[in-house]
Chain A
Amino acid sequence: MTTSSLSEAPAAVTPVRKVTPRGVVRSEWLKFWSLRSSWIALAASLVVLLAFGVIAAATYGPPTAGNSDEGMSDGSSDAVSLALTGSPLVSLIVGSLGVLLVAGEYSTGMIRSTLTAVPRRLPVLFSKSAVVALLVLVLTAIGALVAFALGAVGLDGEKISLSLGDEGVLRSLLGFGVYMALVAAFGVALGALLRSPAGGISSLLGILMILPNLTSLLPDSLADALEPRFPSTAGEAMFSLHRSADSLSPGAGFVVFAGWVALALAAAAFRLKRTDV
């Protein structure tokens, strides 16, 4: 261990580079695109969104006495809600994508490589969320616009037909993209919290799909107060064209759902930072 032999070690003793947020984002970007499952999930969410939207619009018939639009929670169909018929399934797909991005690293052991490269850990969580949220935002917002445009063909001549310029339409379609982006980030948080693909996806399903149905177990007054503030009901308020009496406004829905996502991310950050890998 002499000084001369140390100085011979090339470059090893002069690391000028360092881990930067930009580098971590680039790394997560590459990690995202270099897995086949990411492509499949993005493609699936787009296909589901377009197919459901187009089919719902094409098969739409005005409500008659015996057929009052089952499936629409607030009972009133409009061109936007028809275009976004696939929303529950799309939210599961992009949420599962978020879960898999993190939980998949735990189940394969990749997380050890990831965290030895970025031992501060939190940049990994935030970069993953940002990358998947951004991609999902762009894809689902475009998908919603396309589904709406294609649906307009099917709805041509119907009373509920709308155009993009009508009040609230663009806001709803973009709000849908923002909701999906937040769902994807929510999935990342659940994946980091539970560290297991199965656990993450089932809790995502439970929180988004099953939780709102459990309100029937609560006293009515409590249920009425809580239900609009559940993650998925608050989130859906972000992209519904017409506000029903007991739901939040789009802005309030955004704040509440973003709050849930922030809470989940904070819990995930705590677990990531504090516990062994």
Chain B
Amino acid sequence: MIEARELTKRYGDKTAVDRLSFTVKSGEVTGFLGPNGAGKSTTMRMIAGLDAPTGGSVTVNGRAYAKHPAPLHEIGTLLEAKSVHPGRSAHNHLMALAHTHGIARRRVDEVIELAGLSSVAGKRVGAFSLGMGQRLGIAAALLGDPGIVMLDEPVNGLDPEGVLWVRNLLRGMADEGRAVMLSSHLMSEMALIADHLVIVGRGRLLADTTLDDFTRTAAGGGVKVITDQAERLRPLIAGPDVVITSHSAEELVVSGRTAREIGMIAASHGVPLYELTPQAASLETAFMDLTRDAVEYHSAPADNAPADNADTYPKAA
């Protein structure tokens, strides 16, 4: 488990990470998202003890990273691609890390095999492609068989087979009860793998939610209804917590009722429906909406569903 509490990092008068609090739990894949410069890498470096926080704290399994007697067994990290000396072979690189913890050569061979690097293990890392470098970084993260893995952009440069491998690997680790934290700019990939999302912008927490909640909320949890009797239908489906917005004369977007409920009501009142579609925003759309707001309004906490104020009918009691 990783716990950040009011984590802050300032460089001069620039605040890279601003009172960030979140938790990465065991048994889940937590996606760590944010636009470029949002403070993701800085946060990960603080988790791994490379950068010292200006304020607040972050712990790994209840302790600061550097206080662990054997950190590689607690958390495996892939920070930036190629945190490796290019003149050394992959095997020697991993072996050098393994020696510090007294990890056996057998385990080194195991992670090389697991990462699909067996045929190039003796080659100098400088000759590696981006994808092979990523595989080596992931192999290093797995070396200590840690209960937590934290990977910064792990699928960068990987071929489709490699992407699938990472997805299955991380899913498998989470299912075994380990905590997985990863950052990625590939929203489609993140949508496939993450259970939980921590989204930052300008160093601040924008959202800490589940993937399902996030995409549902971003879409307004709405159902799109198209009918030529929109004005007749509107009061029929209104109710507490039901919000109805409209962009054209024939279209309603209803949140607070399921498609099934709306269909039943429309049928019982004889309102013909031409379309009845549950709205589901893609993670990408939801993410863009959220971070666009963050840029425009600096730090609007995005707890609430975005709502079109002009046409909103809050039919709450």
Residues of A within 8 A of B (CB): 1-2, 5-13, 15, 17-20, 23-24, 26-28, 30-31, 34-37, 104-105, 108-113, 115-120, 276-277
Contact = CB atoms under 8 A, between A and B. Distances in A.
Contacts of A35: 85, 87-88
B100 A117 contact: yes
B102 A27 contact: no
15 contacts: A7-B177, A9-B176, A28-B96, A30-B92, A34-B89, A109-B82, A113-B84, A113-B97, A115-B49, A115-B50, A116-B71, A119-B48, A119-B49, A119-B71, A120-B66
A27 B97 contact: yes
Contacts, number: 136
Interface of B: 25-28, 45, 48-52, 65-66, 68-74, 77, 79-80, 82-89, 92-93, 95-97, 99-103, 140, 144-147, 175-178
Nearest to B84: A110
Nearest to B82: A109
Nearest to B146: A12
Nearest to A116: B48
B27 A1 contact: yes
A115 B97 CA distance: 10
Nearest to B91: A34
Most buried by B among A12, A23, A111, A120: A12
Nearest to A108: B85
Nearest to A14: B73
B23 to A, nearest CB: 11
A11 B73 CA distance: 9
Contact of B178 (A12, A111, A276): A12
B243 to A, nearest CB: 34
B136 to A, nearest CB: 10
Contacts of A6: 26-27, 177
Contacts of B72: 116-117
Instruction: Give the 3 A-B residue pairs with the shortest CB-CB distance, closest first.
Output: A15-B73, A5-B177, A119-B66
Most buried by B among A9, A23, A28: A9
A5 B176 CA distance: 6
Contacts of A19: 69-71, 100-101
Contacts of B73: 11-12, 15, 17
A27 B72 CA distance: 14
A18 B72 CA distance: 9
Contacts of A115: 49-50
B67 to A, nearest CB: 8
B68 A17 contact: no
B66 A11 contact: no
A17 B70 contact: yes
Nearest to A123: B100
A26 B95 CA distance: 10
A26 B26 contact: no
A62 B26 CA distance: 80
A10 B176 CA distance: 9
A1 B25 contact: yes
Contacts of B65: 116, 119
Contact of A12 (B50, B66, B145): B145
A17 B86 CA distance: 28
Contacts of B49: 115-116, 119
A232 B177 CA distance: 58
Contacts of B83: 109-113
